[in-house]
């Protein structure tokens, strides 16, 4: 293996504490109710951190809910949690994406859901029958309300009412939760989020008026927790009030923040961050130097000779490239700097183009004389997924989910 993805359980637990603390601060402390619960999103293989590595750590930290992509990822996560001893009950697992659209795929997914005690998300009547057929009774489901994403979810109004009636005709299914997803939670003005929250409140009122009694209401993501701009910050307290009026419990979902990252608020408003300063990067992506090369002034480096040395340079070759998830857009060329790695706690800039499995970095200015076999940090302290995302013009989500390697617990 040419590189290693190390996951820090200590930092992951610290981030859970920071998230819990922020959620507690987001609601009135005097009403006597528990502060919002955390649903830890570990879908997409834990955003590249390894879902089956993160799940036991989060379970031991007392997180009540985990969010996975599909029934098969949920099955693997359930098995990883079942292998450990816990002081309390194991977390519930929410399958956040809907089942396959074909009948055979939906039936197999439903069987996996029931077999591994998972809770699926539903939003149309066609999804109910396979679950009811697989269930032995009392299968919980969470209903997604589409308040503005136009993705998953049932819109409020007549479509919601018809779905509630269809759900009522499936006695083996139980409405355990209702939720929505905010499209622009990182926006400080919160105009779309406010409108989505209003639609969600109306949908919840309609559900309870129709006799539904979900035990959980949840909204949000890491930016919802982070965003302390006045209009945006009110969303968690509004959810808390809504749950209190209905007797349900409130929950907020958090994914990216678990791993030490939040999206920047828009417009740039760092003073409105309430979660981000409490977070630590969980992942360290590391490799070692393959060899050292001295090149003279005027030598070209890499494909297409896009970089020419303007002085004698000392280069380190590392055995990682875009096939491993190190973006080609981190390349440098004459007149344009690119990304960097950390060697001996110093920045080593990428020189020339990142190639498929190899990258060269400049270690000329690192006085401790790096040598073959020395440690290289590709992501971690000193170089973040946010840094890579800015240079690659993409989100840190894409950087983390694009890493190709097997995560290990550090």
The reported pLDDT for the residue numbered 29 is 62
pLDDT of 298 reads: 97
pLDDT tens for the chain, 410 residues long, are 689 999 999 999 999 999 999 999 998 665 667 889 999 999 999 999 999 999 999 999 999 999 999 999 999 999 999 999 999 999 999 999 999 889 999 999 999 999 999 999 999 999 999 999 999 889 999 999 999 999 999 999 999 999 999 999 999 999 999 999 999 999 989 999 999 999 999 999 999 999 999 999 999 999 999 999 999 999 999 999 999 899 999 999 999 999 999 999 988 766 789 999 999 999 999 999 999 999 999 999 999 999 999 999 999 999 999 999 999 999 999 888 999 999 999 999 999 999 999 999 999 999 889 999 999 999 999 999 999 999 999 999 999 999 998 899 98
Active-site residue, 303 included: yes
Over residues 101-140, the pLDDT tens digits come to: 899 999 999 999 999 999 999 999 999 999 999 998 899 9
Distance CA 113, CA 105 (A): 12
- Whole-angstrom distance, CA of residue 393 vs CA of residue 382: 19
Closest by CA position to 231, among listed 295, 184, 290, 172: 184
Backbone angles phi, psi at 23, to 5 degrees: -65, -40
For residue 85, what are its two tokens?
Answer: 């001893």
pTM for the complete prediction? 0.95
371 is catalytic: no
291-319 per-position pLDDT tens digit:
999 999 999 999 999 999 999 999 999 99
The reply to whether omega before 267 is within 30° of 0 (cis) is: yes
The secondary structure of 248-266, three-state, reads CEEEEEECHHHHCCCCCCE
120/94 Cα distance (integer angstroms) = 6
The active-site residue, picked from 47, 303, 322, 371, is 303
Which residues, listed in sequence order, are joined to residue 69 by a DSSP beta bridge? none
Task: Say how many Å lie between the first and final Cα of the chain, rounded.
Answer: 16
Query: Annotated catalytic residue: which of 43, 47, 259, 397?
Result: 43
Q: In whole angstroms, how far apart are CA 390 and each of 48, 162, 264, 356, 387?
A: 19, 45, 11, 21, 5
Domains of the chain: 36-274 (3.20.20.10), 283-409 (2.40.37.10)
Cβ of 298: how many Cβ atoms within 10 Å? 10
């Amino acid at each position: 293996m040419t590189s290693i993805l190390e996951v820090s359980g200590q930092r992951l637990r610290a981030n859970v504490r920071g998230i819990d603390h922020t959620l507690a601060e987001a609601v009135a402390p005097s009403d006597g109710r528990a502060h919002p619960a955390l649903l830890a999103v570990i879908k997409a293989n834990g955003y590249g951190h390894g879902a089956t590595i993160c799940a036991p750590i989060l379970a031991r930290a007392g997180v009540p809910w985990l969010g996975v992509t599909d029934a098969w990822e949920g099955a693997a996560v359930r098995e990883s949690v079942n292998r450990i001893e816990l002081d309390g009950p194991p977390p519930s697992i929410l399958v956040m994406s809907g089942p396959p659209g074909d009948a055979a795929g939906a039936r197999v997914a439903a069987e996996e859901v029931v077999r591994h005690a998972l809770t699926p998300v539903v939003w149309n009547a066609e999804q109910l029958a396979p679950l009811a057929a697989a269930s032995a009774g009392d299968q919980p489901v969470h209903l997604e309300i589409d308040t503005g994403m136009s993705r998953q979810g049932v819109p409020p109004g007549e479509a919601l009412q018809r779905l509630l009636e269809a759900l009522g005709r499936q006695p083996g299914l139980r409405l355990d939760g209702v939720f929505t997803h905010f499209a622009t939670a990182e926006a400080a003005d919160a105009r779309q989020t406010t409108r989505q929250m209003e639609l969600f409140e109306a949908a919840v009122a309609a559900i309870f008026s129709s006799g539904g009694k979900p035990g959980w209401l949840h909204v949000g993501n890491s930016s919802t927790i982070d965003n302390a701009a006045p209009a945006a910050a009110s969303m968690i307290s509004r959810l808390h009030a809504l749950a209190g009026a209905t007797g349900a419990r409130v929950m907020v979902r958090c994914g990216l923040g678990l791993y030490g990252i939040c999206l920047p608020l828009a417009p740039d408003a760092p003073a409105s961050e309430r979660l981000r300063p409490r977070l630590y990067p969980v992942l360290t992506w590391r490799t070692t130097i393959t060899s050292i090369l001295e090149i003279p002034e005027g030598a070209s480096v890499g494909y297409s000779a896009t970089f020419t040395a303007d002085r004698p340079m000392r280069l380190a070759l590392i055995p990682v490239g875009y096939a491993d998830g190190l973006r080609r857009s981190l390349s440098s060329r004459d007149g344009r700097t690119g990304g960097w790695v950390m060697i001996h706690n110093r920045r080593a800039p990428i020189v020339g183009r990142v190639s498929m499995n190899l990258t060269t970095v400049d270690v000329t200015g690192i006085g401790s004389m790096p040598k073959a076999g020395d440690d290289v940090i590709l992501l971690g302290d000193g170089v973040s997924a946010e840094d890579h995302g800015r240079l690659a013009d993409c989100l840190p989500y894409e950087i983390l989910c694009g890493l190709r390697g097997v995560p290990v617990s550090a």
